[in-house]
Amino acid sequence: MATNKWSIIFLIAIVAALATSVSAKVFIVGDHKGWTLNFDYQAWANGKKFVVGDKLVFQYAAGKHNVFRVNGTVFQQCMIPPAIEALTSGYDVITLATPGRKWYICGVGKHCELGGMKLFINVLPQSMPPVPSVSPPPSGKVFVVGDDKGWTLNFDYQAWATGKEFVVGDRLAFRYPMGKHNVFGVNGTSFQQCTIPSSNEARTSGYDVITLATPGRKWYICGVGKHCEMGMKLFINVVPQSAYAYPPPPYHRTRKLAPPKF
Ligand SMILES: *[C@@H]1O[C@H](CO)[C@@H](O)[C@H](O)[C@H]1NC(C)=O
Ligand SMILES: *[C@@H]1O[C@H](CO)[C@@H](O)[C@H](O)[C@H]1NC(C)=O
């Protein structure tokens, strides 16, 4: 049962991871201005995160501009490559297929040199979001039974337990002067009737730490004299470890591809 739950949670985490890795963003270069003269494309690119798989869309009046993919040198010097290498549709979609620096210019007239029609971006590799850990935290809570009173006579352990949540992996610490008390883990019947088990089952160290290893009801009594009848008995319910909160998957924007505007 528990195993099943963890498998489902793990599956959900995997699906979420895959879903985020395939949802690529689409960037309309220059946003609603498109690919045009006198626009600061470096300012536009600033602060944007381009990741492998994302797309750039160069949107412009066909014939008025074009798009060349160039290297850094050509970009610097605004050298126009052979016209055959140009993208000219007016709605040129470029998938950012590899990480690294990418340069784009307009090869019409002096648009690159004088019109500022040049764009430089850095494309980051895809990073898988970290798969959330599904293993329980290594250390649970430690409850000192009776808090600063410890394990003693004339203390209401049911009142002490009320409102506390005991989870598998948590620990109970029974603290008492050694020899004065002891601790037995018993069943419900022995708890009710204060039946003292054989003394070799007793914990007697004066600081007995019990790890709550399984969910369900647990009963503890003191087996010294009539201490159990006098109230040295503790009943708790241990709940299974529940799903831990996951960070939400990274948020990915997906812009709708708008039809070219002229
Ligand atoms: C940049 O591209 C130009 C034109 O294609 C080419 O002649 C030049 O060698 C390239 N420079 C580098 C550093 O790749
Ligand atoms: C409870 O524990 C006592 C003593 O160990 C045992 O004799 C008895 O059968 C147990 N009762 C149940 C319901 O398990």
Q: Name the residue among 236, 115, 215, 199 with its Cα closest to residue 167.
A: 215
CA distance 49 to 122: 8
Distance 222 CA to ligand 2 centre (A): 17
* CATH architecture under which domain 142-239 falls: Sandwich (2.60)
Query: Tokens 């709605």 sit at which residue?
Result: 91
Beta bridge partners of 216: 238
**Which superfamily, per CATH, for 8-124?**
Cupredoxins -  blue copper proteins (2.60.40.420)
137-193 pLDDT, tens digit per residue, is 556 899 999 999 999 999 999 999 999 999 999 999 999 998 999 999 999 999 999
> Contacts by 254-259 with C-beta closer than 8 Å and gap 24+?
254/23, 254/24, 254/25, 254/26, 255/25, 255/26, 255/27, 255/28, 256/26, 257/26, 257/57, 257/93, 258/28, 258/59, 259/91
Which runs of consecutive H residues, i.e. helices, occur in the chain?
Answer: 2-22, 41-45, 72-77, 157-161, 188-193
Select from 184, 186, 190 the residue to mutate for testing ligand 2; criterion: most ligand atoms less than 8 Å from CB. 190
Counting beta carbons within 10 angstroms of the beta carbon of residue 219, is it exposed (0 to 12), middle (13 to 18) or buried (19 or more)?
middle
Closest ligand to the CA of 193: 2
155-166 pLDDT, tens digit per residue, is 999 999 999 999
Residue 245: the pLDDT is: 41
Q: Is the CB of 190 under 6 A from ligand 2?
A: yes
Closest ligand to the CA of 223: 2
Start-end of CATH 2.60.40.420 domains in the chain: 8-124, 142-239
Could you tell me the pTM of the whole model? 0.45
In the chain, which stretches have pLDDT less than 50? 1-2, 9, 11-20, 136, 243-256
Residue 260: the pLDDT is: 55
